[in-house]
Amino acid sequence: MMRSIYYTEENPHFQYVLGLGDDVLVLGQRWSEWLSKGPNLELDITASNLALDLIGQTDLLLSHAADLAGKGQNSDDLAYLRDTHDFRNHWLCEQPNGDWGVTIARMFMFSVYQYIRYERLMKSSDVKLSEIAAKAFKEATYHRRFATEWTMRLAHGTTESKQRLQNGFKQLWRFTPELFETPDWERKLADQGIAVASEDIFAEWDEVIDSIFAEAELEKPVFTGGVIGSRHDGHHSEHLGHMLCAMQYLQRVYPTAQGAKW
């Protein structure tokens, strides 16, 4: 695979922040796809708010990443003018929404992960990243509560709602090992106080997951291996390419529109 100009080991600090930004960009786009399609009007509005929270975090993180890259780019350039293999989001974030059960399963797993990561990043020696994490942590707190409440609601609702939720967890569980994959450069950043090593999040994440699954009377899927590597080589599922076609359409088809701002 051709070496990405956006992802080089010569600048691991940039790599790390770029990955954080890509996660929330892609998940925010997925939530925007629920607009006008939510189970009810209230959840339609909630989906838009979740999308806005995540895209707001994206703008902050990708702006910081662009500054770290030092190539004269901005957050819009990184969001709209990269190809699929240049993105560094986790596979979990790019999976299709599916039904409401699948979407809630994904949001529950990822919001617990984000809550822990942002809480720890508030102590980062990167002052800018620490400030972004402090703001994002407040939103992640709500996202975690929302996803947890809906996990409990679906689990204790009807037989069908519980089955759809359970199916969502089974469908997405193979993507969770990647959340805790920790390349050497990330461990070095963590040792420097800049980053949070992903593997250090697992114990707390797993404890929260176990607690909620027990209360919800859900069957916890078993880790049997899964997809890893998106942070390293830009290897993604076909779903990301389809999503980017829609997200980047304006900038790609109408070059004169380049320079448009969020």
pLDDT for 32-81, tens place per residue?
998 878 788 788 899 999 999 999 999 999 999 999 999 888 898 898 88
Q: How confident is the model at residue 96 (pLDDT cuts 50, 70, 90)?
A: very high
122: exposed, middle or buried (Cβ count in 10 Å: 0-12, 13-18, 19+): middle
Question: Can you tell me the distance from the alpha carbon of 56 to that of 28, in angstroms, rounded to the nearest whole number?
Answer: 9
5 found inside a domain = no
Query: How large is the average pLDDT for residues 118-144?
Result: 98
d(CA 250, CA 261): 12
Residue the block writes with tokens 């979407």:
103
Residues 176-235 pLDDT 10s = 999 999 999 999 999 999 999 999 999 999 999 999 999 999 999 987 666 665 566 667
Take residue 19 and report the two structure tokens written for it. 């990955």
Domain CATH for 125: 1.20.1260.10
Maximum CA extent, the chain: 54
Q: How sure is the predictor about 239, in pLDDT bands with cuts at 50, 70 and 90?
A: confident
Q: Alpha carbon of 255 to those of 48, 80, 172, 260: distances in Å?
A: 28, 11, 37, 10
Give backbone dihedrals phi and psi of 21, rounded to 5 degrees, phi first: -65, -40
Domain membership of residue 204 (yes or no) is yes
Look up residue 202 and give its DSSP letter: H
Q: How confident is the model at residue 1 (pLDDT cuts 50, 70, 90)?
A: very low
Q: Answer whether residue 253 is part of any domain.
A: yes
Mean pLDDT of 136-154: 98
Nearest to 2 by CA among 230, 233, 227: 233
Residue 248 lies in a domain: yes
Q: What percent of the chain has pLDDT over 90?
A: 68
What one-character DSSP code corresponds to residue 95? Answer: S
Backbone angles phi and psi of 184, in degrees to 5? -60, -40
Look at residue 1 and tell me if it is in a domain: no
Residue 163 pLDDT > 60, yes or no? yes
Contact status, residue 194 vs residue 124, Cβ threshold 8 Å: yes
Say if 195 falls within a structural domain: yes
Domain assignment present for 216: yes
Number of domains in the chain: 1
Stretch (H or E) spanning 104: helix 100-121
Place of tokens 């076909």: 238
pLDDT tens-digit profile of 120-129?
999 999 999 9
Please give the residue range of the domain that contains residue 241: 12-181+189-257
Q: Which of 5, 65, 30, 15 is nearest to 246 (CA)?
A: 30
Task: Give a yes or no: residue 2 inside a domain.
Answer: no
**According to the model, what pLDDT value does residue 2 have?**
37
pTM of the predicted model, to two decimals? 0.89
For 249, what's the count of Cα atoms within 13 Å in the CB-facing half-sphere?
5
Q: Which residue has the tokens 């100009």?
A: 5
Instruction: Check pLDDT > 80 for residue 243.
Output: no
